[in-house]
């Protein structure tokens, strides 16, 4: 069973970013779907990486998933890791597992060792785009009414810098306080910081957040210098999450070695796919670190691949679900993962349990989003007469 064809499809969902899918077909006519993690403005770059890899993979065995991933790193990338490389490979790798499941007649989680749970808990993201705190609270209450019991948001205004204006800090604390009051004590609030603070700022903010009983404090510092994150973890009584901006197993090994996180959140569409996410979870388990995979991808292939792994690994906590992609994904799927009341059901069909209609994809072609403007000098700290806003 050889790889015979690799195709890519970009889908414009109307918000966020274009979504990048990959379809792999074998010499005996089976096909599988995968997905690559992309960032806005780089969708075409990662699509190009998939096509460059395809030239090397056509004719190789579709069974040789782990070996193909290793030799792409060794021989194609010359042992240099990058988000672009691993995101492109993740899309192909996920599609190969989909094929393997279809060939054996089993859902992928059975091929990974069998399920450890009957369903997978998800938290909501992609909802907090309101222009005021009041508007975001209103949106959060709608999520709660839909049955979600956890949601993530970034409460911090201002430019992403290692220091923070005191007004921005007070604004963020007030945002979280008001969100807690509105959502009640049982609803889980997951606070995102997007790698922006120095340890001193991150620690001060983290200690101020402790009173609100938040579930986690995500990426308070730049994970490229993982010792910064470890410093925050030692000083704040809130679980610390990192992993979204880490891609290789070596980076995750170093994170565990530094005792930098209580929770890891690698993205299956950016870290090397199903095989890599299983490996990272296995590394984390002896260190008493749990997994909450990042999933800024569609609620189709990215979600499905994540759900299959999360069904198997013992050290699973919760995973991400982007509500703003729900509608368009339903329009292009002929089957997908069922999510209800904040839980994803495990599919029972062979493979990943998701199928995409290529004709429906064509009705949502790639469109370039407006560029997010770079910060101007007039917006840098410190700013005269500054008032924070979302």
Q: For 174-196, what is each residue's pLDDT tens digit?
A: 999 999 999 999 999 999 999 99
Could you give the residue range(s) of every CATH 3.20.20.120 domain in the chain? 109-355
Could you give the residue range(s) of every CATH 3.30.390.10 domain in the chain? 3-105
Give the pairing of strands 19-26 and 150-153: unpaired
For residues 95 and 34, the answer to whether their CB atoms sit within 8 Å is: yes
Phi, psi of 246 (to 5 degrees): -105, 145
For tokens 């349990």, the residue is 353
Residue ranges of E strands in 77-160: 119-125, 150-153
For residue 350, the 8-state DSSP code is S
Mean pLDDT of the chain: 96
Q: For 220-236, what is each residue's pLDDT tens digit?
A: 999 999 999 999 999 99
pLDDT band at residue 386 using 50, 70 and 90 as cut-offs: confident
For residues 57 and 6, the answer to whether their CB atoms sit within 8 Å is: yes
Say whether the peptide bond before residue 382 is cis (omega within 30 degrees of 0): yes
Give the CA radius of gyration of the chain: 21
Percent of the chain with pLDDT over 70: 100
Closest CA to 110 of 355, 290, 347, 271: 347
* pLDDT score at 283: 98
Q: How far is CA 125 from CA 143, 165, 296, 321, in A?
A: 10, 26, 9, 6
pLDDT band at residue 371 using 50, 70 and 90 as cut-offs: confident
- Sequence-ordered list of residues with C-beta below 8 angstroms from that of 7, at least 6 positions apart, any chain: 22, 23, 24, 25
For tokens 């490229």, the residue is 224
| 3-class SS of residue 322 | strand
Average pLDDT over residues 5-30: 97
* pLDDT score at 237: 97
Average pLDDT over residues 248-273: 98
Percent of the chain with pLDDT over 90: 92
Average pLDDT over residues 353-369: 96
For residues 67 and 76, the answer to whether their CB atoms sit within 8 Å is: no
Considering the domain 3-105 in this protein, what is its CATH number? 3.30.390.10
Rounded CA separation 151/316 (Å): 17
For tokens 């209450």, the residue is 141
DSSP string, 174-226: HHHHHHHHHH-SSSEEEEE-TT---HHHHHHHHHHHGGGT-SEEE--S-TTSH
Residue ranges of E strands in 197-345: 216-218, 240-242, 263-264, 290-291, 319-322, 333-335, 339-340, 343-345
* pLDDT score at 381: 82
Q: In this model, does residue 382 exceed pLDDT 90?
A: no
Give the pairing of strands 216-218 and 240-242: parallel
Q: For 162-178, what is each residue's pLDDT tens digit?
A: 989 999 999 999 999 99
Q: How far is CA 292 from CA 171, 277, 362, 380, in A?
A: 27, 11, 33, 34
Average pLDDT over residues 95-103: 98
- Copy the structure tokens of residue 35: 């997905």
* Fold classification of 109-355 (topology level): TIM Barrel (3.20.20)
Rounded CA separation 238/233 (Å): 8
Q: How far is C-alpha 307 from the geometric centre of its chain's CA atoms?
A: 12
Q: In this model, does residue 309 exceed pLDDT 90?
A: yes
- Sequence-ordered list of residues with C-beta below 8 angstroms from that of 271, at least 6 positions apart, any chain: 86, 90, 246, 247, 248, 249, 252, 277, 280
């Amino acid at each position: 069973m050889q790889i015979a064809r690799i195709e890519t499809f970009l889908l414009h969902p109307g918000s966020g970013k274009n979504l990048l899918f990959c379809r792999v077909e074998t010499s005996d006519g089976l096909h599988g779907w995968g997905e690559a993690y992309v960032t806005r403005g780089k969708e075409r770059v990662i699509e190009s990486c998939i096509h460059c890899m395809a030239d090397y993979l056509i004719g190789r065995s579709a069974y040789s998933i782990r070996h193909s991933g290793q030799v792409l790193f060794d021989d194609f990338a010359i042992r240099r890791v990058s988000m672009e490389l691993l995101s492109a490979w993740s899309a192909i790798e996920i599609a190969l597992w989909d094929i393997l499941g279809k060939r054996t007649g089993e859902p992928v989680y059975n091929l990974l060792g069998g399920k450890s749970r009957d369903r997978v808990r998800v938290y909501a993201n992609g909802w907090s785009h309101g222009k005021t705190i009041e508007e975001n609270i209103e949106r959060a209450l709608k999520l709660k009414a839909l049955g979600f019991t956890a949601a993530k948001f970034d409460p911090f205004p201002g430019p992403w810098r290692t220091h923070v204006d005191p007004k921005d800090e007070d604004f963020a604390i007030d945002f979280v306080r008001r969100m807690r009051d509105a959502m009640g004590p049982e609803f889980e609030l997951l606070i995102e910081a997007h790698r922006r603070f120095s340890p001193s700022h991150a620690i001060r903010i983290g200690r101020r957040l402790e009173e609100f009983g938040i579930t986690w404090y995500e990426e308070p510092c730049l994970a490229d210098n993982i010792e910064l994150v470890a410093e925050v973890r030692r000083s704040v009584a809130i679980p610390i999450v990192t992993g979204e901006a880490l891609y290789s197993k070596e980076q995750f090994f170093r994170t565990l070695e530094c005792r930098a996180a209580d929770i890891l959140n690698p993205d299956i569409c950016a870290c090397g796919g199903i095989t890599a996410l299983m490996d990272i979870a296995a590394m984390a388990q002896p260190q008493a670190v749990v997994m909450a995979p990042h999933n800024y991808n569609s609620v189709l292939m990215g979600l499905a691949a994540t759900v299959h792994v999360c069904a198997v690994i013992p050290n699973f906590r919760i995973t991400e679900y982007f509500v703003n992609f729900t509608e368009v994904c339903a329009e292009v799927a002929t089957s997908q993962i069922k999510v209800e009341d904040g839980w994803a059901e495990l599919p029972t069909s062979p493979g990943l349990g998701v199928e995409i209609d290529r004709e429906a994809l064509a009705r949502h072609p790639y469109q370039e989003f407006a560029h997010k403007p770079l910060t101007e000098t007039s917006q840098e700290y410190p700013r005269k007469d500054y008032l924070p806003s979302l």
